[in-house]
Chain A
Amino acid sequence: MTWLVPLPIVLPLVGAALSILVGRSRTAQRVVALSILATLVVVAVVLLVQVDRHGTLVAEAGGWPAPLGISLVADRFAAVLLLVAEVSLLAVLIYAIGEPGAERHHVGFQSAYLVLAAGVAASFLTGDLFNLFVAFEMMLTASYVLLTLGGRRGQVRAGMTYIVISLVASTLFVTALALLYSATGTVNMAHLAQRLDELPPGVRTAFAVLLLVVFGIKAAVFPLFFWLPDAYPTAPTPITAVFAGLLTKVGVYALIRTQLLFFTDETRPATLLLVVAAATMAIGVLGAIAQEDIRRILSFSIVSQIGYMVMGLGFFTVAGVAAVVYSMIHHIIIKSGLFLIGGLIDHSTGSSRLTQIGGLVRTTPFLAAMFLVSALSLAGIPPLSGFISKFALVQAGIAESHYVVVGVSLLVSLLTLFAVIQIWTGAFWSPPEVTTLPTPTPVRRSGGPLLMVAPTAALVLCSLGVAAAAGPIYSFSERAADDLLDRQSYIEEVLSP
């Protein structure tokens, strides 16, 4: 079944080319993009079942054996993130097609979107550190295009900051690669893991910190997060939704993969990670409270949620990493869903500023219900998926007696509740304070056209599913965490298949 592994990278790239070829017909472009993403969801499901039953799948590009050629590795962690990513990409694409605006006026939208999908998949699947750099660039370049599509003033301003900071991160990545290559003579991740062990511990720790900075910028951890709340809110809703769900999570993925695979316990910057995690959680949520715009509140809360994932990683135990895997699954779905709901609010009221909207609970009760479920899940109210992920993280932390960071995380989840309740009271509960805004479209009770509401509802349902099937998903996460912490078996599977 190894032929399945390159498909999530190759298919969207072919699709991107195809949708340029059929650029004259918007319908043909949509058919291409939708059918490819739908196929990829199926491929990802098959891949996940295969990997879970029969172990890690390794595909060698061009048939070159491992340390020489580029290997694509699908283990449990990569496969499950791939599935969640493809599902949210598909849902957001349907929403984008339903939304009047961004998608309709740009020939390049579908292509850039598919390249983004390919980049995300490649980042998850690659077993080669330089190829990870290429995958990041593929994803980021597509995201630059998507972010600035339309060329409005705010987009250009935010786009510049975003591109410059990403380019700086990429340069640092190349620097890290150069130093790693000259120290070890390889860029294959399994081979690197093997050879890094021979270096002195000081050098290894330096590499661990360097990679932490590189991926910390992409994952938006404190103090490297400032570009995120600046850039994300300016893009059209579907694009913000996919960025919010996926891009930072790819950074977290790379962080987890490199820290766990390359370094052993004594060279991992565990304390640094925990301090960074606590600061990320706290600053992110405080930023969210200070904002008055739905998108900006949600963007800051991405930062604070990233802190939770870094905290779980910082424990470096099976329980901690399993909790991170579960919370990544939860967070990709819930965050994309929340941004889509924000977009629906914008669509039905013409604004996303809390002072200008209100009373949505009467005009669009269905939208209000979807928001309430997702928001409470984000804050970690039982029995929703956010509660399970936070409970698992806190349990893992207490087991390792890291009481301070666990305390911070509990306080932060209270403040997160405060931030989302702010949206709830501002947008749904209270009457609008300023009533001068003309409603752009007659408001429907569901909140928008079917093509916009259905994918949003599907994502909310998925998040309920993640909570309802928490038992099997959590035990899967534990198996994935076992894989991640077992460096030797990864190295063996890649180097001697």
Chain B
Amino acid sequence: MTVMLAAVAAALFAIGTYLLLQRKLSRIIIGLGLLTHGANILLITGGRRGNPPIVGSEEGDGFADPMPQALALTAIVITFGVTILLLALAYRSWLLTADDEVQDDVGDRAVGRSDVVHDEVADQAKVIEREEAP
């Protein structure tokens, strides 16, 4: 059981990492979801298995460790909230640019391509204008 959970966590991490390397924000968000699930499964695997930890239902060592479950729940709630925010941001980005591709930093790109007019290298407005022209 533990080996299987570990394998599932590993698979989720692998797929999540692959999706994270894409340029589309929607894929990145799905990738992040899988990645965090992987982390949560890892958290659950860390605890002892057993029966539900309800007082009086069992003696001594028969209980599952409730701690990792509580930790995983907290982590799930936090990721849930942040994912919603990220989705809202992806929607906003789609409204603004009609695309959800994560764009390069305009300043970085301009510094990298120093053949752009040197005085206004990092001038956002100019560079965007330049790119939209052709």
Contacts and interface: CB of A to CB of B under 8 A. Distances in A.
Q: How large is the interface on A (under 10, 10 to 19, 20 to 34, 35 or more residues)?
A: 35 or more
A160 B86 contact: yes
A189 B107 CA distance: 42
B7 interface: no
A482 interface: no
Contact of B46 (A145, A160, A181, A296): A181
B57 interface: no
B27 to A, nearest CB: 11
A402 interface: no
A358 B59 CA distance: 77
A144 B102 contact: no
B89 A177 contact: no
Interface stretch (A10-18, A286-294, A473-481): A286-294
A137 B76 CA distance: 12
Q: How large is the interface on B (under 10, 10 to 19, 20 to 34, 35 or more residues)?
A: 35 or more
Interface of B is mostly: helix
Given A171-B39, A178-B42, A293-B122, A159 B67 contact: no
B85 A141 contact: yes
Contact of A175 (B28, B39, B89, B107): B39
Given A141-B85, A293-B122, A160 B25 contact: yes
21 contacts: A137-B82, A141-B81, A145-B85, A151-B92, A153-B96, A153-B97, A154-B124, A156-B89, A157-B103, A157-B105, A159-B89, A160-B90, A160-B93, A164-B20, A164-B28, A164-B102, A174-B36, A181-B68, A296-B107, A353-B122, A353-B123
Contacts of B103: 157
Contacts of B68: 178, 181
B107 A163 contact: no
B78 to A, nearest CB: 5
B79 A167 contact: yes
B111 interface: yes
Contact of B108 (A182, A230, A433): A230
Given A177-B71, A187-B71, A230-B105, 19 more contacts: A130-B74, A134-B74, A134-B78, A144-B82, A153-B96, A154-B124, A156-B89, A159-B89, A160-B86, A160-B90, A164-B28, A164-B32, A164-B86, A164-B102, A175-B38, A178-B43, A179-B42, A292-B121, A433-B119
A148 B85 CA distance: 10
A355 interface: yes
Top 5 A-B pairs, shortest CB-CB distance: A182-B46, A178-B43, A174-B39, A178-B42, A181-B46
A161 interface: yes
B71 A355 contact: no
Contacts of B120: 355
Contacts of B71: 130, 177, 181, 187
A42 interface: no
A17 B120 CA distance: 45
B8 interface: no
B75 interface: yes
Nearest to A172: B39
B105 A156 contact: no
